[in-house]
Amino acid sequence: MRKEIIINSSPHEIRIAMLEDGELVEVLVESADAKRIVGNVYKGKVTSVKPGLQAAFVDIGLERAGFLHASDLEHDDSEEEGPEPATPSQGDRRGGPPGRRRQRHVPDIGNVLKVGDQILVQVTKEPISTKGPRLTADISLPGRYLVMMPKGRHIGVSRKIEDRRERVRLKQMLQAYRPAEGAFIIRTAATAVTEEGIKQDVDYLSGLFDKLYRSGQDVQAPVVVHEDVGMVVALIRDIFKEDTARLVIDDHEDFLRLVNYVKMFAPELRGRIEEYKGDLPIFDQFEIEAEIKNTLDKRVWMKKGGYLIIEQTEALVSIDVNTGRFVGKRNQEDTILQTNMLAAREVARQLRLRDVGGIIVIDFIDMESESNKKRVFNELRLHLHRDRARHKVFQVSGLGLVEMSRQRVRPSLLSQLSDDCPYCTGTGKVLSMETMSNRIERLIQRIAVVTHESRLQIQANPVLALYLLEERPEQFRELSRSFDLELNVLDDATLHVEEFRIVSLTSGKDLIAEFEKKARGGR
C-alpha cells in the first residue's frame, strides 16, 4: 500500500490529508482560532470534587473546566507490558477497548483532592459539544521512539513489535540510557532503531520533563506549562514513518521547519519531503478538495451503485447500507453480499475520514447465509485494522446490526467544518407551513376570546405570509366571520420561518404576550 501525506498550510488554517493508494482516508484540520490542546500540560485549580462520580473538575483556564476521573490520578508501576500509550494525536490512552489490561487501583478522590488544590494535569480529549476537556494527572510525553511517563519505573514495549529478539534488544538499549526516574514505553516506530536514536529520545524527553516540572513550580494556576508540538510536527513524529512514500507541503516556511525537524530526529526520511510549487491549490491538484466537501453529505455513493446513509447524533452514529442502483447479475443473496462487502470497506474509510467516535451502529442489508455474515464482519474488521483510533467491534446482533465503539478524541470533521443551521438548529427539520397556519388559527381563536381585541395583524416570515394569503385565505375569512375580527397579514423578513407575531391594530400591543399574561392570571 502506498501512503502519502499532503499538507495545505495557510495563516488561518492547516489541513493535513492522508492518502492510501491515492484514496483519501484521513483529514486533520486545525484553525488559528481553535488550536488543539490534546497533549498540553496545565497547572490547574480544583474547583469541584464529586465523590459520587469519583471525579473532580479542574479549572485550566479554558471556557469549561476539565474532567479528571479518579482512575486518572495514579499511574500503574507494574512491569507487565501493555499496549503502547496513545500519543497526543491519538488521545486518551485509556479510551480503547478492553484487552489484556493491568489492574488499576482507583483511590477515593475525596481523600486525594479538595477544592482549591493546584495540580499538574494533561489534556487527553478535546472539549466536545457541551463537555469540557478530559484530563489526566498521569502525564505522558511522546518522542519519536519512546513515550515517557515521569511517574513510575517500568519499561514496556509496544505489542505491535512482535519479534521477541527485537523486543529484548530495545529493552536492553533503553535500560542502559534511562534516567533514575520515569517509566518508558518503546513505540512501534523504534523497530530497528540504533542506540543513538534511543539515547537521543531519552535525553530529549528527560530534559523536556525537567523543564516542564520547573515551569509548574513557579506559576499559579490556571496556566499552561507545556504545549505539545504543533499538528504538523506531531504528524511527523507519530505517523511519518518508513511506510510513507512521501510528504508534500505547500508552505515554504513549514517545509523548512519540517526538514530541520526530520534532519534532527529521522534523517533517513528527509528525501521523502517535497515542497509543492504547482499553480493549482495543492488539494485541488491531488483531488482532495471535492472529497472533503463530500464528507458533509449524509449519502455516500459506492461502486456499483450502492450507497450509505450516515447520521451523526449526540449519542451515536448510525450507518445504513442500501443497494441503490445495484441490481447484480446472479441471485439476490449474491447482490446483497457484494453490496455489504463494499460497504464494509467504505464504512471503515468513512469512520476515519469523518473522524466520528462513540457508539456506532451499522445496519448492513439482511443476509440469510451465516457464512456471508461472517465474511462481511471479517472484511469490516480487516479494514478497521488500519484505523489509528482505538475501536472495538461486536458480532452481528440478533437484529442484524453491527455495533462498535470508536475512540473519540476531538470533535468530528463535520463538527469542525460546520455550524448548526440557524433555522432548524441542527434538527434538519422545520415545521411545515400547514402546521404553522393551524397553530396561528388556534392562537387567534384563543386571543379573540381572552383579550376581546377585534383588529389583528399577523406578522410572519415572507414564506409563511405568502402561504397564509395564497393557500389559506378561506380559513382566515371564516375566522373573521366567526369572531367578528378584522385580520390582515404583514410579511417580516427578520422573522424565522417558525416565528410569528399577532399585534393589535388598535393599540399596537403584542397580543400573544397579552394573552399569555391574562391566561396565567386566570388560573
Task: Give tens-digit pLDDT for 295-332.
Answer: 889 999 998 888 999 998 877 899 999 988 877 667 78
* 465 or 83, which is more confident: 465
On the question of pLDDT at 40 being above 70, the answer is yes
Q: Which residue has the cell 492510501?
A: 20
Q: What is the pLDDT of residue 514?
A: 81
Closest CA to 17 of 35, 4, 30: 4
Q: What is the pLDDT of residue 428?
A: 80
pLDDT in tens, 114-158: 999 999 999 998 888 778 999 999 898 888 889 999 887 888 998
Query: DSSP 3-state assignment of 108?
Result: coil
* Residue 299, Ramachandran bin (φ over 0: left; ψ between -120 and 50: alpha; else beta): beta
Which one of 193-207, 218-232, 340-354, 406-420 scores highest in mean pLDDT?
340-354
Mean local confidence (pLDDT), 441-467: 91
Q: What is the pLDDT of residue 167?
A: 92
Residues contacting 184, CB < 8 A, separation 6+: 146, 147, 148, 149, 155, 156, 174, 178, 202
- CA torsion sign for 123, 161, 378, 235 is positive
- CA torsion sign for 36, 39, 43, 45 is positive
Min mean pLDDT across 207-216, 226-235, 246-255 is at 226-235
Cell of residue 107, nine digits:
483511590
Q: What is the pLDDT of residue 98?
A: 35
Mean local confidence (pLDDT), 335-347: 93
On the question of pLDDT at 177 being above 80, the answer is yes
**What are phi and psi for residue 61, nearest 5 degrees?**
90, 10
Q: What is the pLDDT of residue 369?
A: 87
Min mean pLDDT across 25-29, 324-328, 509-513 is at 324-328
Q: How far is CA 257 from CA 23, 33, 264, 314, in A?
A: 27, 21, 11, 39
Q: What is the pLDDT of residue 328?
A: 67
Q: Report the share of the chain in percent with pLDDT over 90.
A: 43
Q: What band does 81 get if pLDDT is binned at 50, 70 and 90? A: very low
Q: What band does 57 get if pLDDT is binned at 50, 70 and 90? A: very high
On the question of pLDDT at 89 being above 70, the answer is no
* 194 or 330, which is more confident: 194
Q: What band does 465 get if pLDDT is binned at 50, 70 and 90? A: very high
Mean local confidence (pLDDT), 241-257: 87
Q: What is the pLDDT of residue 361?
A: 96
Q: What is the pLDDT of residue 174?
A: 92
On the question of pLDDT at 470 being above 90, the answer is yes
Q: What is the pLDDT of residue 250?
A: 93
Mean local confidence (pLDDT), 366-375: 90
Mean local confidence (pLDDT), 410-425: 81
Mean local confidence (pLDDT), 232-256: 83
Instruction: Report the mean per-residue pLDDT for the chain.
Output: 85
On the question of pLDDT at 90 being above 60, the answer is no
Q: Which residue has the cell 471525579?
A: 55
